[in-house]
Amino acid sequence: MKAIVVREFGPAEVMKLEEVPNPSPGPGQLLVRVRAVGVNPVEVYVRSGAYARKPSLPYTPGTDVAGIVEAMGPDVTRANNGDRVYAHGTAAGYGGYAERTVCDQSQVHPLPARLSFAQGAAVGVPYGTAWRALFVRAQARPGETVLIHGASGGVGIAATQIARAYGLRVIGTAGTDKGVTLVREQGAHEVLNHRDADYMARIMPLTGSRGVDVILEMLANVNLDRDLEVLAPGGRVVVVGNRGRVEIDPRKIMSKDGTVLGMTMFSATAEELRAIHAALVAGLENGTLNPVIGRELPLAQAVQAHGAVMEAGAFGKIVLIPT
Ligand code: NAP
């Protein structure tokens, strides 16, 4: 089968499409014929070698696959051959940028017929991150207001749909007119363009001068200090994304009884992941959650996909399609 293989850390070009042996599932594992795999920014950081977590070389990137169960190892109770599934993660030593991959059964969830495989490949990291940031970290409650700072990308669209379905008031931001329209279509009550010079000044008036209860921050190194100015009393900022250093005035946290929380999906416990995916599957089934696909590229164009996921002007997910 064909798979993307990384033999050294470095620029996108270190990803090569190679012929590799077909994998076979062990006990409690499934072989998934990959029909689509999501591209996440973290895969770019890891491939570059700059990320704290490094897989041993060589490796195949990719955690968010959707496809068909083709074979099962012993002791699998959660799926059957032929099932449509999405997976959040692959078994140790395997990756999703491939025609086939192996997943532990706990990583695999049913993909409702109403969704495409590309949409299934947009669920794992983005929707898992959004759900954990909102409910595990920020403890968001219906009736509260959330600012989704960077709502046009994979995590932001997921957070917009989840927060809206849960009864939060949603203010989203995007960096292009197209992105602003997209975020509004996903259910945000208000959408601002984070490239407009005065957009942060418009947030307090939108909340009756009270501020926002929760902020999901996709680019903390740019926004964190100004986020603290629009927090409601008792407000919580969750740092989801960050690409550099930032200076903040801690007095702004103090004066609001505020909280700045970190968040990484790598810390999610097995119990959290069970709850998260039970909630997500319910939303995917009942139609409240609808992953948005911005671009589909052939698996052979993984290099271009890694370039595209780091560009401004996000519009949903970028997914790779094996032939
Ligand atoms: P993505 O699809 O590439 O989206 C990036 C988002 O950031 C877009 O909405 C983009 O908006 C927005 N953005 C760009 N400039 C911004 C600014 N100045 N202020 C606010 N937002 C801005 O990426 P993603 O998959 O959604 O991930 C978002 C971030 O979270 C990434 O940094 C990623 O590494 C991180 N992340 C962290 C975790 C975790 O566990 N902590 C998990 C998943 C992702 P425009 O392009 O419209 O300007």
Tell me the CATH number at 116.
3.90.180.10
Instruction: Among 37, 46, 176, 218, name the best residue to mutate to test ligand 1's pocket (greatest count of ligand atoms within 8 A of Cβ).
Output: 218
Q: How far is the CA of 154 from the centre of ligand 1 (A)?
A: 7
Q: How far is the CA of 21 from the centre of ligand 1 (A)?
A: 35
Q: How far is the CA of 158 from the centre of ligand 1 (A)?
A: 12
Containing structural domain, residue 38: 2-123+291-321
- pLDDT at residue 323 in the model: 86
Q: Is 285 within the bounds of a domain?
A: no
Instruction: Among 155, 161, 292, name the best residue to mutate to test ligand 1's pocket (greatest count of ligand atoms within 8 A of Cβ).
Output: 155
CA dihedral 260, 265, 270, 271 (to 10 degrees): 40
Structure token digits, residue 310: 């780091």
Shared domain for 24 and 60, answered yes or no, is: yes
- pLDDT at residue 76 in the model: 96
Q: Is 71 within the bounds of a domain?
A: yes
Structure token digits, residue 9: 């850390």
Instruction: Among 160, 219, 221, 225, name the best residue to mutate to test ligand 1's pocket (greatest count of ligand atoms within 8 A of Cβ).
Output: 219
Question: In whole angstroms, how large is the CA radius of gyration of the chain?
Answer: 20
Query: Closest by alpha carbon to 134, among 158, 153, 107, 150?
Result: 158
Q: How far is the CA of 129 from the centre of ligand 1 (A)?
A: 11
Contact 292, 157 (CB under 8 A): yes
- Cross-sheet strand order for the sheet of 259-262: 190-193, 169-174, 145-149, 212-217, 231-239, 259-262
Relative to the CA of 318, which ligand 1 atom is closest?
Answer: 2
Relative to the CA of 314, which ligand 1 atom is closest?
Answer: 46
- DSSP, collapsed to helix, strand or coil, labels residue 32 as strand
Contact 87, 32 (CB under 8 A): yes
Query: Closest by alpha carbon to 285, among 84, 62, 136, 103?
Result: 84
Q: How far is the CA of 242 from the centre of ligand 1 (A)?
A: 8
Q: Is 237 within the bounds of a domain?
A: yes
Shared domain for 246 and 137, answered yes or no, is: yes
- Domain count of the fold of the chain: 2
pLDDT at 135 over 90: yes
Q: Torsion-angle region of residue 201: left (phi > 0), alpha (psi -120 to 50) or beta?
A: alpha
Residue type, 252: K
Q: What's the pLDDT tens digit per position in 63-110?
A: 999 999 999 999 999 999 999 999 999 999 999 999 999 999 999 999
Q: Is-above-0.75 flag for pTM?
A: yes
> Confidence band (pLDDT; 50, 70, 90) for 314?
confident
* Minimal-distance CA residue to ligand 1 atom 20: 150
Shared domain for 191 and 140, answered yes or no, is: yes
Q: Round to whole Å and give the CA distance between 308 and 90.
A: 23
Q: Round to whole Å and give the CA distance between 297 and 273.
A: 29
Shared domain for 232 and 141, answered yes or no, is: yes
For the chain, what is the mean pLDDT? 98
Examine the fold and report which residue of 251, 266, 281 is the final residue of a domain before the chain moves on: 266
pLDDT at 184 over 90: yes
> What residues flank ligand 1, with Cβ below 6 Å?
40-42, 125-126, 129, 149-156, 173-176, 179, 194, 218-219, 222-223, 240-241, 263-265, 309, 312-314
Q: Round to whole Å and give the CA distance between 215 and 163.
A: 12
Q: What's the pLDDT tens digit per position in 160-174?
A: 999 999 999 999 999
- pLDDT at residue 20 in the model: 98
- DSSP, collapsed to helix, strand or coil, labels residue 142 as coil
Q: What's the pLDDT tens digit per position in 203-238?
A: 999 999 999 999 999 999 999 999 999 999 999 999
Shared domain for 63 and 184, answered yes or no, is: no
- pLDDT at residue 147 in the model: 99
Q: Is 249 within the bounds of a domain?
A: yes
* Minimal-distance CA residue to ligand 1 atom 10: 150
Shared domain for 142 and 111, answered yes or no, is: no
Shared domain for 10 and 47, answered yes or no, is: yes
The CATH number for 171's domain is 3.40.50.720
